[in-house]
Amino acid sequence: MRSLYLLIAVLSVSLTAVAQSRPAVRTQKASAAAKPVNEYAATDAKALQVPEEATATTAGIAAYINASFTRPADKVRAAFIWTASSLQYDLDNMFALNFHEKREEKIARSLKTRKGICENYAAIFNDICNKAGIKAFIVEGYTKQNGFTDYIPHAWCAAYVDTAWFLFDPTWGSGYVTNGKFVKKINNEYFLVAPRQLIKSHMPFDYLWQLLYYPVTTGEFYEGKTQEHTSRAFFNYTDSIAAFEKQDEVDYYAAAASRMERNGVRNSLTFDRLQQMRRAIDIEMQDRVVHLYNTALANYNNSVNSFNTFIDYRNKQFKPEKTDPQIQAMLDESASELKSATRKLAQIKNPDANTASLITGFNKQMGDLTARIDEQQEWLKKYFSKGKAGRRSMFTKYSWFGIPLN
């Protein structure tokens, strides 16, 4: 099995796709507009009083929010304002991305340094929401400002508040860049945004996260034609999100890739994301094969051990004595483990040539063991049907795997 273990070592390297940030969250001109009345002032003031010791983790922040607010709308606002106000946009490291860094590590690092880019803002807001009881997901895609479609990815969030889905961009809502410097200034235009509004500037890779019943194509986004066309086929995104929540990574990536291709691969960002998804699918599928094979092998070894234990006990003429059901259970355990191994091996679809060869040999071994178990099952039936004298006459010594010694 050495070649399979080498396969495991190769597949243990995970693939993580992350989004890069657009630094200019607002133009300087937009920041000079008249300051609107902040209807969230009371919630914001309370949300920004999170004790310093609680801000080391999203769990601590969420615990404060849960203790301070009861309404979902207040909780999601608290998560947004804390994230947008507490992080500084990291212009110096906007291109210094670690594509293999886990989301938990991104969150921990940004909470420690209080710096981050869009993926950090989105991850922290998303995690606080989830831990505060608000269903939320990170959305990846690209953006448009002043008629220009950006050439680097961006990340924002979707969250279900009360009875509807809304979109949030805590990065763009935190401030803007001017003269190479980040200016912190909360912009509520990117809080609790209606999907038909945000689609004017934010295009998800997967149109599921447009949260529109009539999704906008990538071509229309480039042309600024983002109004919904009800003459098209209806897309029930609520049902699709419900399905997404039940899907594993492979099934979601496959569905998302299909939607992305249908909506049009207009730029290198979408093409690269598609390639990342396909690689992730390949890796996950190989991981599944390895897992199924190894767990089947473990079941098979358990079956062999149980069978040998039974044979050893039979060679001792069932001494010390057990009840008939206990003796039967010893052999049944071997049969049960073998069935589990057979079932798992059958789930492996389209294996590579090396794994297929291993499976062929494995199936032969399992077939041999099945025959041995069946032989002993028949012997037990006869044994149980006899009285004491008849039972004593049936004993012949057997080796491992049930081969007679005489």
Backbone conformation region of residue 266, classed left if phi is above 0, alpha if psi is from -120 to 50, else beta:
alpha
Domain endpoint, select from 142, 175, 204: 204
Write out pLDDT tens, residues 203-230. Answer: 999 999 999 999 999 999 999 999 988 8
- Whether residues 188 and 304 share a domain: the answer is no
Specify whether 139 is located in the same domain as 33.
yes
Q: Which residues contact 389 (CB under 8 A, 6 or more apart)?
A: none
Residue ending a domain, choose from 152, 186, 204: 204
Residue 23 lies in a domain: yes
Check which CATH number belongs to the domain holding 168 and give it. 3.10.620
Residue 316 pLDDT level (bands cut at 50, 70, 90) = very high
> How many domains does the chain fold into?
2
The pairing of strands 154-161 and 175-178 is unpaired
**pLDDT(253) > 70:** yes
- Do both 329 and 197 map to the same domain? no
Residue 164 in any domain: the answer is yes
At 379 the three-state DSSP class reads helix
CB 86 within 8 A of CB 55: yes
Instruction: Tell me the per-residue pLDDT of 125-154, one tens digit each, with 9 for 90 and over.
Output: 999 999 999 999 999 999 998 889 988 889
As a whole number, mean pLDDT of residues 8-18 equals 27
Mean pLDDT, residues 255-272: 91
Q: Is there a contact between 23 and 94 (Cβ–Cβ < 8 Å)? A: yes
Measured CA to CA, the distance from residue 120 to residue 109 in angstroms comes to: 9
Whether residue 7 lies inside any domain: the answer is no
Q: What is the mean pLDDT of the chain?
A: 87
The answer to whether residue 268 sits within a structural domain is: no
- 280 domain-assigned: no
pLDDT digits (tens, 9 = 90+) for 70-79: 999 999 999 9
- Within this chain, do residues 173 and 71 fall inside the same structural domain, yes or no? yes
- Please check whether residues 147 and 290 belong to one and the same domain: no
Question: Do 21 and 167 belong to one domain?
Answer: yes
- Which pLDDT value is given to residue 337? 97
Same domain, yes or no, for 168 and 26? Answer: yes
Of the three residues 150, 174, 204, the one that is the final residue of a domain is 204
Give the residue, 284 or 134, on which the prediction is more confident.
134
Query: What mean pLDDT is predicted for residues 22-30?
Result: 42
The CA distance from 400 to 406, in Å, is 14
Whether the predicted pLDDT of 80 surpasses 90: yes
Q: Is residue 211 part of a domain?
A: no
Shared domain check, 289 and 200: no
Whether the pLDDT of residue 50 is over 50: the answer is: yes
DSSP string, 190-206: GSSB-HHHHTTTEEESS
Q: Confirm whether 273 is domain-assigned.
A: no
DSSP single-letter state for residue 404: B
Closest residue by Cα to residue 107 from 164, 161, 155: 155
Q: How many CB atoms lie within 10 A of CB 295?
A: 14
**Length, in residues, of the chain:** 406
Class of residue 326 by CB neighbours under 10 A (exposed 0-12, middle 13-18, buried 19+): exposed
The whole-number pLDDT of residue 102 equals: 85
- Asked if residue 107 belongs to a domain, the reply is yes
Evaluate whether 156 touches 142 at the Cβ level (below 8 Å): no
Q: Given a cut of 80, is residue 37 above it in pLDDT? A: no
Range of the domain at 146: 17-204
Distance CA 40, CA 164 (A): 19
By the 8 A CB rule, do 369 and 304 touch?
A: yes
pTM of this structure = 0.73
Based on the fold, state whether residues 178 and 78 are members of the same structural domain: yes
| Closest to 85 in 3D by CA, of 54, 109, 50 | 50
Determine contact, residues 58/128, Cβ cutoff 8 Å: yes
Same domain as 197, residue 82: yes
Indicate if 198 and 317 belong to the same structural domain.
no
Question: What number of CA atoms fall less than 13 Å from residue 287's CA on the CB side?
Answer: 13
CA pair distance 259, 255, nearest whole angstrom = 6
Closest CA to 304 of 174, 170, 401: 401
Q: Are residues 295 and 197 in the same domain?
A: no
- Whether residue 49 contacts residue 56, with contact meaning beta carbons closer than 8 Å, is answered with no
Helix pair 249-263, 237-246: axis angle to 10 deg:
150
Q: Max Cα separation, the chain?
A: 103
In terms of DSSP H, where are the helices of 135-267? Answer: 195-198, 218-223, 237-246, 249-263
CA 69 to chain centre: 29
**What pLDDT was estimated at residue 23?**
42
- CB-based contacts of 356, cutoff 8 Å, min separation 6: none
Q: What average pLDDT score do residues 366-385 get?
A: 96
pLDDT tens column, 335-364: 999 999 999 999 998 888 999 999 999 999
What's the pLDDT band for 401 if we cut at 50, 70, 90? low
